[in-house]
Structure 1
Amino acid sequence: MNEVLASTLRNAVYERLDYLDRLVNEADLPSRASLADSEIARMTAAWRNLLAKHEPDYRGRCRECGGWRRRRPHPCSVWTTAHKNLIVIDSPKTPSTGRHAAASYLPSAG
């Protein structure tokens, strides 16, 4: 039963995203403005909820990522994905090889 529920949930989310993509790409300007009025608040609330679950613990590790024995260091992939999609705009392509390539677009500490 869990597989059926997970599949149903996954399909519903992807169908909603596909619907929103179609509206953004094919709807007229007033429809897109209405969509922005309703969906931007929902999307920011969803991002905030997801990011709150991935805040670092007192040791600087993600509370959600990893197993019970070993948490992932912060920022985890959820935070780096949020940064990449919400902050980084039209950045040049970075190499996608190597163990740390996924986080290579993050600003340097220096």
Structure 2
Amino acid sequence: MDEVLAGALRCGIYERLDYLEMLIADGDTTSLAALAETELARLSIAWRALLALHEPDERGRCTRCSGWRRGRLFPCSVWVVAHEHLIAANHHADATSAAP
């Protein structure tokens, strides 16, 4: 992928994320419900596709993050970030809301 195309791809993705964050911050209840209906499935599919690329091989190493000399032990940084944002963030929010 050339530099211009890579830059456009990166810019497009960040613009989409900025747009979604703006909708979340400023949207009314109806807009947020519509957003959840369309975007949650897309985000779930995207996470699954990304995680599938980083599944460990038979030696327990991430094939995408591994170099040719040595492998990156599972979990790689992609799985760690997924856990932080999809699991740990929920546990933190649950603990915070349960506090007196």
TM range, normalised to the smaller chain?
A: 0.7 to 0.9
Query: 1:55-94 deviations in whole A, cap 9, x for unaligned?
Result: 0000000011022222200000000000000000227xxx
Are residue 10 (structure 1) and residue 10 (structure 2) matched?
Answer: yes
1:82 aligned residue: 82
What's the TM-score, normalizing by structure 1? 0.79
- C-alpha separation between the residues in 1 aligned to 2:46 and 2:20? 15
Contact residue 57 and residue 63 of structure 1 kept, 8 A: yes
Which segment drifts farther, 77-86 or 64-73?
Answer: 64-73
Within-5 A mapping of 1:88-103: 88-89=88-89, 90=92
Q: Find runs of 4+ consecutive structure 1 residues off by over 3 angstroms.
A: none
Bigger helix share: 2
Structure 2 residues not aligned, in runs of 5+: 94-100
2:36 aligned residue: 36
- C-alpha separation between the residues in 2 aligned to 1:17 and 1:24? 11
Q: In percent, how many aligned pairs have the same letter? A: 57
AA in 2 matched with 1:10: R
What's the TM-score, normalizing by structure 2? 0.87
Structure 1 residues not aligned, in runs of 5+: 92-110
2:96 aligned residue: none
1:55 aligned residue: 55
